[in-house]
């Protein structure tokens, strides 16, 4: 009888741990209980959909926009550029050597600081699909994340980057 009670208690503990996810947590090295490599920095679940945010990886020039459509971007392994349609801020003064439109967007290339765009074209393309809030897109070491308040793009190796929104911009 004691063996049966011990077996039931053991089974109850295993089921309780499984229900809580106790057997699949990742440790500091990213290795879980199964020994398989697991992500240790998985973003929190999206409250509106019940699933975690998506990090889409691309290897060729890819356009995307904010869900509002006010910011349009293009990203590949060599650069990311985001242009803005409507803004409540002014860019810094136009450089003397800029012969095109200036200040409508910000660009970032690997290993270099972010800077304002001097160009005669735009990254605000109608065919670009939205990058949902909380999701990100990565091309090599460049990564952009969409949030309700802004789009932020970062060189994951140097930490250089920018954020852009209707209310403000930041170069870092």
Collapsing DSSP states into helix, strand and coil, what is residue 7?
A: helix
Q: What is the average pLDDT value for the chain, to the nearest integer?
A: 78
For residue 104, give the H/E element and its range. strand 101-108
pLDDT higher than threshold 50 for residue 55: yes
- Where in the chain are the domains? 1-42, 55-171
Phi, psi at 15, each rounded to 5°: -65, -40
- How large is the average pLDDT for residues 145-153? 97
% the chain with pLDDT above 90:
69
Residue 33 — very low, low, confident or very high, per pLDDT cuts 50/70/90? very low
Q: 117 by DSSP, 3-state: which?
A: strand
Q: What are 107-126's pLDDT values in tens digits?
A: 999 999 999 999 999 999 99
Q: Which element (helix H / strand E) includes 10?
A: helix 2-20
Closest among 137, 148, 164 to 54, alpha carbons compared = 137
Query: Does the pLDDT at position 47 exceed 80?
Result: no
pLDDT, tens digit (0-9, with 9 covering 90-100), for 95-112: 999 999 999 999 999 999
Residues 31, 154, 162: CA angle, nearest 5 degrees: 150
* pLDDT of amino acid 167: 98
Dist. CA 122–CA 84, nearest whole Å: 9
Q: What is the rounded distance in angstroms from the CA atom of residue 138 to the CA atom of residue 163?
A: 15
The predicted pLDDT at position 9 comes to: 38
In the prediction, which pLDDT does 52 show?
75
Alpha-carbon Rg for the chain, nearest whole angstrom, is 22
pLDDT of the residue at 123: 97
Instruction: Measure the CA–CA gap between 85 and 14, rounded to whole angstroms.
Output: 55
Q: Which residue has the higher pLDDT, 67 or 33?
A: 67
């Amino acid at each position: 009888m004691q063996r049966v009670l011990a077996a039931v208690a053991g089974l109850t503990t295993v089921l309780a741990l499984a229900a809580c996810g106790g057997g699949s947590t990742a440790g500091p090295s990213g290795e879980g209980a199964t020994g398989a490599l697991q992500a240790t920095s998985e973003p929190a679940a999206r409250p509106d959909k019940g699933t975690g945010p998506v990090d889409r990886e691309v290897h060729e020039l890819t356009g995307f926009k904010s869900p509002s459509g006010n910011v349009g971007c293009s990203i590949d392994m060599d650069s990311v550029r985001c242009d803005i349609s409507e803004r409540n801020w002014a860019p810094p003064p136009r450089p003397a050597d800029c012969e095109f439109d200036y200040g409508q967007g910000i660009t970032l290339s690997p290993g270099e600081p972010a800077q304002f765009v001097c160009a005669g074209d735009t990254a605000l393309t109608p065919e670009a699909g939205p990058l949902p809030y909380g999701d990100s897109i990565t091309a090599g070491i460049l990564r952009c994340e969409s949030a309700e308040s802004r789009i932020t793009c970062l060189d994951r190796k140097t930490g250089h980057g920018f954020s852009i929104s209707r209310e403000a911009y930041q170069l870092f």
